[in-house]
Amino acid sequence: MIFARKVWRILVGIKDGFALLFLLLFFYALYAVLTYRPNPGLVREGALLLKLDGAVVEEPAEIDPLAVLLSGSAPAKQFRERDLVRAIEAAAKDERIKAVVLDLDKFTGGGLVHMERIGAALDTVRAADKPVLTHALAYGDDAMLLAAHASEVWVDPLGGAVVVGPGGSRLYYKNLLDNLKVNVHVYKVGTYKSAVEPFIRSEGSPEAEEALGAVYAALWEDYRAQVAKARPKANLDLVTRDPVGWLQAAQGDTAQAALQAGLVDKVGDRTAFGQRVAKLVGEEPGGRPGEFRDTELEPWLADLEEDDEGKAIGVITIAGEIVDGDAGPGAAGGDRIAKALDEALDDDLAALVVRVDSPGGSVFASERIRTAILRHKAKGIPVVVSMANLAASGGYWVSTPATRIFAEPGTITGSIGIFGIIPSFETTLADWGVNPDPVRTTPLSGQPDVLGGLTPEVEGLVQASVEHGYRRFIGLVGQSRRKTAEQVDAIGQGRIWDGGTARQLGLVDQFGGLDEALAYAAKAAKLDDEDDWHAEFLGQEDDPLRSLLATMLEDDDDAAARRSDFAGLVMARQSALAARLAHDVALLSGAKGIQAYCLECPVSVAAVGAQRDAAGGILSALARLAGFAGKGPA
């Protein structure tokens, strides 16, 4: 017994020690989060160095600190587009900044509209007679669009540049579901509502291919025009029409091939590139070869003064999939966004700008957001919508209160249609000897029954509710756009449109970004002088935890190993395709209710990567499907 007591005391002591250790770590982490702030004192004369080691997004996603700490790896970095634009435009005017340098070694991309906006900001730097230099191991489409605006584009001797254009494979699961004997019940309205096609077809319908092909063609033309304007010597035809011949002419040397096609200006490693920058902005005192004087993004932003003069024009951001509840940032939780809008009702806003970058999602959450926007409109203030890369389906639903809609040619919008999906497994179970025997008092008892099958009555109810939802959708659009239901239905039916075509159809009023939408809102509010107003972003706070964890877990020693080389661009796209598979399975297996969602919308590698992180991977998604979870109407 004495020995047992001693062992017990030792175990209790170990337990108390670990408890104390975790408590100390918790309070240390809490203190670090509360006190972590970029130091504006780090701003110094030299280059503004933008290490874009992540994706450019409209709204950085919320992170789970516990998951990050347990994984031991930093969260995927995300850069808010307007922060980058603000930083670059300020650099053009500040005498301390002699050049802007973009490190694109680990850049994972962003939407076309965001790339074009950042490119325009880089043009202001060059217009101020300041050089813009970029370096990367490998340039993909998005990186190349940014680099096109640089005065010097450098590539590593072992790297290269390639432009592939929009497009790629969609995955279709009908044959797989048939083999598994899973019955997929689809309820939809719209000839072009191809979001559900992967579950009911083995290939895309002609209507879906027509719509998607038209959008891809428009995006490609916009991309080519932007590159040609910013970098006339870039020969995209040489790269895209005969890529094998192009590379063979350079004897397989991808860096030299990029140089010959005019995609890059110089071939050199990071040291050579750094030495070139050092000649322009000054060497780092006591630094290693290739190091130059620089200021990084966070201290630079911390040093910039926020404009808070004049009346406030509210800006609410709806970014990511629209979902029920408080999700986000990074996902558009209907309750969270409605709460932010309602809390601003007493703020005496001069106008409201709704910034949308979303493929849609839950009809219920979309309606929650729309009605919250209407409460501001009821106060008699102007309501303006600014569309970024995507404002489709539910993303268009929340745009209907606007009196003016701004978009870009590269914006994807429309997809006016809704759907619901319920998988059932009665045939699968029967093969395993499981036979449900329902006892019902009415045809709706126990429905929807994903194990025993759906009755004709419940199928009719769900389809009727979807049809009612579609009629409501086209009614909202018609009221907003001053069109009849028949006119909206003709351009609806779930079809997606590029921004240029959407403008011709009257779904969009004029081209322009967030700045143009704010200026229009100010004018509509009779605030003619720029000093009379400022933008106030509602419901958004900087997340110091993301920056802190990234700083704590960043390991510069193995940075080179994590850079994406030429082959890595291919692997990144394969990873994105795998992430899309996980997302599709989650769509089938998750109980999300009736959806106004544009699954067929083209999605960037960066965005799909974020979806992959949120979904938890393919295996977890397949596990959810195997768990016989159903997706039914709200």
Residues annotated catalytic, as ranges: 193, 393
**Which two tokens mark 197?**
């096609």
Alpha helices in 507-602 (DSSP H): 514-524, 544-553, 566-589
CA distances from 484 to 57, 544, 566 (A): 36, 48, 51
Do the Cβ atoms of 124 and 621 come closer than 8 Å? no
Instruction: Indicate the residue type of 493.
Output: Q
**Which two tokens mark 546?**
């993301």
**Which two tokens mark 40?**
């504006």
E strands of 278-336, at which residues?
294-296, 311-319, 322-323, 332-333
Which uninterrupted H or E stretch holds 422? strand 419-424
Strand partners, 333: 323
Pairing of strands 322-323, 404-407: unpaired
Q: What is the largest CA-CA distance in the chain?
A: 89
Q: Categorise residue 52: left if φ over 0, alpha if ψ from -120 to 50, beta otherwise.
A: beta
* CA quadruple 207, 213, 218, 219: dihedral, nearest 10: 120
Do the Cβ atoms of 261 and 239 come closer than 8 Å? yes
DSSP assignment of 186-245:
EEE--TT-GGGHHHH-SS--HHHHHHHHHHHHHHHHHHHHHHHHH-TT--HHHHHHSHHH
The candidate with the shortest Cα–Cα distance to 549, out of 29, 120, 99, is: 29
Rounded CA separation 165/202 (Å) = 25
Rounded CA separation 378/371 (Å) = 10
Which uninterrupted H or E stretch holds 366? helix 363-377
Pairing of strands 404-407, 383-392: parallel
Question: Taking the alpha carbons of 386, 387, 389, 395 in that order, is the dihedral positive or negative?
Answer: positive
Instruction: Indicate the residue type of 189.
Output: V
Long-range contacts of 230-235 (CB under 8 A, 24+ apart): 230/119, 230/123, 230/148, 230/149, 231/147, 231/148, 231/149, 231/262, 233/262, 234/148, 234/261, 234/262, 234/263, 235/261, 235/262
15 exposed, middle or buried (CB, 10 Å; 0-12, 13-18, 19+)?
exposed
E strands of 52-148, at which residues?
55-57, 78-80, 97-103, 132-139
Phi/psi of residue 158, each to 5°? -95, 5
